[in-house]
Amino acid sequence: MFFGEPLAYRMRPTNLDEIVGQEEIIGKKTSLYKMIQNGYVPSMLLYGEPGIGKTSIAFAIAGTTNIPFIALNATTAGKKDVEAVVEETRLTGKVILFLDEIHRFNKAQQDYLLPHVERGDIILIGATTENPFHDVNPAIRSRCGQIKQLTRLTAENIQELLKRALQDEKKGLGKISIQITDEQIQTIAFGVNGDARKSLTLLESIVYSSSKENETFIVEDKTIQNMIEKAGVYGDKKGSNFYNLLSSLQKSIRGSDVDAALYYLAHLLETGDLVAVNRRLLVIAYEDIGLANPAVGNNVLAAVTSSERLGLPEARIPLAVAVVEMCLSSKSNSAYQALDKAIDEIRQGKVGEIPKHLRDGHYSGSKVLGHVGYKYPHDYPIGSFGGWVEQDYLPNNLKGTTYYHPIEAGEEKRLAAIYHKLEEFKKGKKS
């Protein structure tokens, strides 16, 4: 039996009790569940990755209440569509407006909704895959009493949903004879990376692409494997999820967790944006490894250059080496932290006159201006260090200012010893 509507559409929950997963957001013990069951629906923003239940929650809320419900998608809806919703409120007094991809509405479109949401004529349920604190008008956010970040469903949630679809004779595949094992259902559930919509779409595709014997669809393992290739990949190159992946990669490397870092690297490479990955790896080499292992910067640059010449999929090989090396390296952020401190103080106005002996003296007339007295350190050998001589480098009013605080880690431990010895020299302790 074939349906005109996709399985994922047909299986949308019709009330709150049919929602799978998201227990912390709208489970029976949550305040939001209790509000809605008591007839009160607040305006809200639902934020999360595709396929994890934003639309389902909106439709379940609509099915649980007696309030008129209108669904729009911001990618195609315009001002006239919103005006029609406003007109509906004049007839019914109150409307639930589900606005999918709300971040696609420009500021003017979002502002048009404001007075109607504020009065309560329109109960707004906005859904977005992008961070609402970045992409949704602050005025809209302030009028939404609930901002909920949904999480991807667990494999167990997905299995429950798939079994429900296989058994449901009215909306699902229950009237069709299908031979599929629990292990195969589990494989599909693990292969979609928590995406409910994708799991139902895959299930439907797998069933109807299976061989048929005596009116029974026989699902084979190879069919499932062919279908779920790349099913778990997520992360639009320009979306919040992609930047979350980049952030997670860096924090995993900083935290020396090799397996987590490789997991996020794999996700990022599957999105295909090699340029962004390479750029972030170079940043990590200097931001998080830094002086503790200065050689890492050159090693990562070599890996990045190799990846650019090789392209994917071979690019993954040098990048894997770079990520593992950075994870297991000693780490220091002292250099850039020192620079940031200097930048911050300069912006606060903590500046002074450059000492005259440091100013440019390579032109006629510089001596007349007093640009004299510079001592060339190479002329003052000091052990195996090279050369050093006592003289002032900072402006007079900044003498004694310290920005750099070395970390006793890796190679920086040796550099720290030199730094402290030079500090002693400056104080006249030349023993």
SS (H, E, C) the chain: CCCCCCHHHHCCCCCHHHCCCCHHHHCCCCHHHHHHHCCCCCCEEEECCCCCCHHHHHHHHHHHCCCCEEEEECCCCCHHHHHHHHHHHHHHCCEEEEEECHHHCCHHHHHHHHHHHHHCCEEEEEEECCCHHHHCCHHHHHCCCEEEECCCCCHHHHHHHHHHHHHCCCCCCCCCEEECCHHHHHHHHHHCCCCHHHHHHHHHHHHHCCEEECCEEECCHHHHHHHHCCCCCCCCCCCHHHHHHHHHHHHHHHCCCHHHHHHHHHHHHHHCCHHHHHHHHHHHHHHHHHHHCCHHHHHHHHHHHHHHHHCCCCCHHHHHHHHHHHHHCCCCCHHHHHHHHHHHHHHCCCCCCCCHHHCCCCCCCCCCCCCCCCCCHHHCEECCCEECCCCCCCCHHHCCCCCCCCCCCHHHHHHHHHHHHHHHHHCCCCC
pLDDT at site 322: 96
> What pairing do the DSSP bridges indicate for beta strands 177-179 and 216-218?
parallel
Predicted confidence pLDDT, tens digits, the chain (431 residues): 555 689 988 999 889 988 888 888 888 899 999 999 988 889 999 998 888 889 999 999 988 988 889 888 888 887 788 888 888 888 888 889 999 988 888 777 878 888 888 888 888 999 988 888 887 888 888 888 788 888 888 889 899 999 999 999 888 999 999 999 999 999 888 888 788 888 898 999 999 988 988 889 999 988 888 887 655 555 455 556 788 889 999 999 999 999 999 999 998 988 778 888 999 999 999 999 999 999 999 999 999 999 999 988 899 999 999 999 999 999 999 999 999 999 999 999 999 999 999 999 888 888 888 899 999 999 999 888 889 999 999 999 999 899 999 999 999 999 999 899 888 888 875 44
Q: Which residues contact 269 (CB under 8 A, 6 or more apart)?
A: 277, 312, 313, 315, 316, 319
Tokens of 212: 């048929």
CATH code reported for the domain at 345-426 = 1.10.3710.10
CATH code reported for the domain at 155-228 = 1.10.8.60
pLDDT at site 298: 95
pLDDT at site 338: 95
For domain 22-149, give its CATH number from 3.40.190.290, 3.30.420.40, 3.90.79.10, 3.40.50.300. 3.40.50.300
Cβ pair 111, 139 in contact under 8 A:
yes
Cβ pair 406, 419 in contact under 8 A:
yes
- Say what angle helices 155-167 and 196-208 make with each other, to 10 degrees: 50
What are the structural domain ranges in the chain? Answer: 22-149, 155-228, 240-328, 345-426
pTM of the predicted structure, to 2 decimals: 0.60
pLDDT at site 136: 83
Fold (topology level) of 240-328: Zinc Finger, Delta Prime; domain 3 (1.20.272)
pLDDT at site 239: 58
pLDDT at site 431: 43
